[in-house]
Structure 1
Amino acid sequence: MSTDNLLAEWAPPTDVDLATAADELVAGMVDEPWGQASPSVYETGRLVALAPWLTRHAGRVRYLVASQHPDGGWGQPDGYGLVPTLSATEALFVTLRRPTGPGPTRAELAAAVERGLRVLVRWLADPALSVPDTPAADLIVPDLVNLLNTHLDELRDTPVVGLDPMWAGVHLGLPARMDPARLTQVRNGLAVGAPIPEKLLHALETAGEAARAARGVTPVPPGTVGASPAATAAWLGGPEVTGPARSYLDFVASQLGGPVPCATPITVFERGWVLSTLARANLPIDPPADLVRSLRAALGPDGAPAGPGLPADADSSSVALYALAQLGQPVAPDCLWSFDTGAHFCTWPGEDGYSITTNAHVLDALGHHLATVPAAPGRYRTTVDRLAGWLCGQQRSDGGWADRWHASPYYATVCCVLALHEHGRGPAVSTAVARAADWVLATQRDDGSWGRWAGTAEETAYAMQVLATAGRSGLSGLGAALARGQAYLLSPADRTDGVPLWQRPNNVPLWHDKDLYLPTAIVRSAVIAALVPVARRPELITPALPT
Structure 2
Amino acid sequence: MTTTPTDRARELLAVLMRDPVGRVTPSVYETGRVVADAPWLGGHDRRLRYLLGAQRADGGWGDSAGYAVVPTVSAVEALLGTLRRTQEPFPDELAAAAGRGLRVLADWLGRGTSLPDTPAADLIVPALVERINDHLTFFAARPGHRFVDGVRALPDVDRRRLDAVHALVGVGRPVPQKLLHAFEVLGPVARRHSGVTLVAGAVGASPAATAAWIGDPELPGTDPEALAYLRASVVPLDGPVPCCTPITVFERAWTLSALVRAGVPVRPEPRLVAELTAALGPQGTATGPGLPADADTTSVTLYALARLGHPTDPASLLHYDLGSHFCTWRGEDGRSVTTNAHVLEALGWHARHTSTGTSRYGTRVAALARWLGDEQQSDGAWVDRWHASPYYATSSVVSALDRYAPAEIAGPAVDRAVDWVVATQRADGSWGRWAGTVEETAYALHVLLGVDGPARPGVGEAVGRGLRHLADADDHHHYPPLWHDKDLYTPVLIVRATILAVGQLALTRSDLVSDTCRAPLRRDMASPMISSA
Match of 1:182 in 2: 161
1:318-355 deviation digits (Å, cap 9, x = unpaired): 00000100111110001000100000000001111110
Per-residue deviation at 1:192?
A: 2.9
* Residue 184 (structure 2) pairs with residue 226 (structure 1): no
Structure 2 counterparts to residues 49-68 of structure 1, below 5 A: 49-68=36-55
Contact 2:99 2:149 in 1 (8 A): no
Query: Do the aligned partners of residues 170 and 470 (structure 1) sit closer, same or farther apart at CA in structure 2, a change above 3 Å counting?
Result: same
Match of 2:120 in 1: 136
- Which of the residues 488, 506, 509 maps onto 1:537? 509
1:156-197 deviation digits (Å, cap 9, x = unpaired): 213575524544x333332xxxx3122112223323321111
AA of the residue aligned to 1:113: A
Contact 2:429 2:468 in 1 (8 A): yes
Query: Do the aligned partners of residues 308 and 85 (structure 1) sit closer, same or farther apart at CA in structure 2, a change above 3 Å counting?
Result: same
Count, aligned residues: 513
- Which of the residues 7, 19, 22 maps onto 1:35? 22
Per-residue deviation at 1:462?
A: 0.4
* Residue aligned with 2:357, SS: coil
Q: Which runs of 5+ in 1 are unaligned?
A: 1-12, 494-500
Q: After alignment, is 283-292 or 408-417 more displaced? A: 283-292
Match of 1:462 in 2: 443
Per-residue deviation at 1:473?
A: 2.3
Contact 1:304 1:317 in 2 (8 A): yes
- Which of the residues 89, 102, 118 maps onto 2:103? 118
Contact 1:400 1:436 in 2 (8 A): yes
Contact 1:421 1:470 in 2 (8 A): yes
AA of the residue aligned to 1:229: P
Query: Do the aligned partners of residues 159 and 52 (structure 1) sit closer, same or farther apart at CA in structure 2, a change above 3 Å counting?
Result: farther
Per-residue deviation at 1:426?
A: 3.0
Contact 1:480 1:544 in 2 (8 A): no
Match of 1:26 in 2: 13
Structure 2 counterparts to residues 399-418 of structure 1, below 5 A: 399-418=380-399
Structure 2 counterparts to residues 74-473 of structure 1, below 5 A: 74-99=61-86, 106-127=91-112, 129-159=113-143, 161=145, 163-164=147-148, 166-167=150-151, 169-174=152-157, 179-221=158-200, 223-240=201-218, 241-376=222-357, 378-470=359-451, 472-473=453-454
- Partners in 1 of 2:16 and 2:282 — Cα distance? 25
- Partners in 2 of 1:113 and 1:477 — Cα distance? 50
- Partners in 2 of 1:449 and 1:160 — Cα distance? 51
- Partners in 2 of 1:164 and 1:256 — Cα distance? 31
Query: Do the aligned partners of residues 147 and 383 (structure 1) sit closer, same or farther apart at CA in structure 2, a change above 3 Å counting?
Result: same
Structure 2 counterparts to residues 501-520 of structure 1, below 5 A: 501=474, 503-520=475-492
- Partners in 2 of 1:544 and 1:386 — Cα distance? 43
Contact 1:434 1:471 in 2 (8 A): no
AA of the residue aligned to 1:50: D
Contact 1:34 1:264 in 2 (8 A): yes
- Partners in 2 of 1:137 and 1:471 — Cα distance? 40
Per-residue deviation at 1:149?
A: 0.9
- Partners in 2 of 1:252 and 1:454 — Cα distance? 31
- Partners in 2 of 1:414 and 1:347 — Cα distance? 19
- Partners in 2 of 1:341 and 1:411 — Cα distance? 24
Q: Which runs of 5+ in 2 are unaligned?
A: 518-533
Contact 1:479 1:542 in 2 (8 A): no
AA of the residue aligned to 1:397: S
- Partners in 2 of 1:388 and 1:471 — Cα distance? 17
Per-residue deviation at 1:291?
A: 1.2
- Partners in 2 of 1:78 and 1:191 — Cα distance? 35
Per-residue deviation at 1:541?
A: 2.4
AA of the residue aligned to 1:157: A
Contact 1:367 1:423 in 2 (8 A): yes
- Partners in 2 of 1:543 and 1:388 — Cα distance? 36
Query: Do the aligned partners of residues 506 and 255 (structure 1) sit closer, same or farther apart at CA in structure 2, a change above 3 Å counting?
Result: closer
Contact 2:295 2:328 in 1 (8 A): yes
AA of the residue aligned to 2:40: W
- Partners in 1 of 2:515 and 2:264 — Cα distance? 25
Query: Do the aligned partners of residues 28 and 474 (structure 1) sit closer, same or farther apart at CA in structure 2, a change above 3 Å counting?
Result: closer
Per-residue deviation at 1:19?
A: 1.8
- Partners in 2 of 1:420 and 1:143 — Cα distance? 41
Q: After alignment, is 471-480 or 363-372 more displaced? A: 471-480
1:259-280 deviation digits (Å, cap 9, x = unpaired): 0000001111000000111112
- Partners in 1 of 2:405 and 2:144 — Cα distance? 62
Match of 2:526 in 1: none
Contact 1:190 1:214 in 2 (8 A): no
AA of the residue aligned to 2:115: V
* Residue aligned with 2:100, SS: helix
Per-residue deviation at 1:37?
A: 0.3
1:193-243 deviation digits (Å, cap 9, x = unpaired): 21111010000000111101111202111x000000000001111122241
1:245-271 deviation digits (Å, cap 9, x = unpaired): 001001112221100000001111000
TM-score relative to the length of structure 2: 0.93
Contact 2:262 2:450 in 1 (8 A): no
Match of 2:498 in 1: 526
AA of the residue aligned to 1:213: R
- Partners in 2 of 1:536 and 1:472 — Cα distance? 14
Per-residue deviation at 1:379?
A: 3.5
